Structure 1
């Protein structure tokens, strides 16, 4: 899955998200994503990650084999 598609899906689910992606391999299958969003405020990290995985949908674990996540609530 391309960086553009991953970013699009996350921003569709979390419109205020800042998304930074780093390829962990040269195959569009392994990524590290740093996602910052106000939607994460007050949520435990597991729930923050679940919101991102839900944004990726059924392709998580298939088309997108691995996604290392760093989530941060937007301060403001």
Structure 2
């Protein structure tokens, strides 16, 4: 079952309700996302990205995950 950009945004929004989230991609498997959230302040990039991947609730897990690839950009607001 293919996943859509709005599904990815909804999953991320559950964990980051005040974030600015932009998700792009329309092939059902390969996407890019930018997540800007205050909660990232003081975290390094790896910590930020791990937090977002955790919000995806296993959608990227293993060879049979619904989401094959996600190019992820994270940061705290300026």
TM score, norm. by length of structure 1: 0.89
1:10-37, Cα deviation, whole Å (9 max, x unpaired): 11001111111121xx421100101100
Unaligned runs of 5+ in 2: none
| Structure 1 vs Structure 2 CA RMSD | 1.1
TM score, norm. by length of structure 2: 0.86
Runs of 4+ deviating beyond 6 Å: none
Residue pair 2:6, 2:23 contacting (<8 A) in 1 also: no
By percentage of residues, which structure has more helix? Answer: 1
Unaligned runs of 5+ in 1: none
CA distance, structure 2, for counterparts of residue 22 and residue 5 of structure 1: 11
Q: Which structure 2 residues correspond to residues 1-76 of structure 1 after superposition, within 5 A? A: 1-23=3-25, 26-61=26-61, 62-75=65-78
Q: Tell me how many residue pairs correspond in the alignment.
A: 73
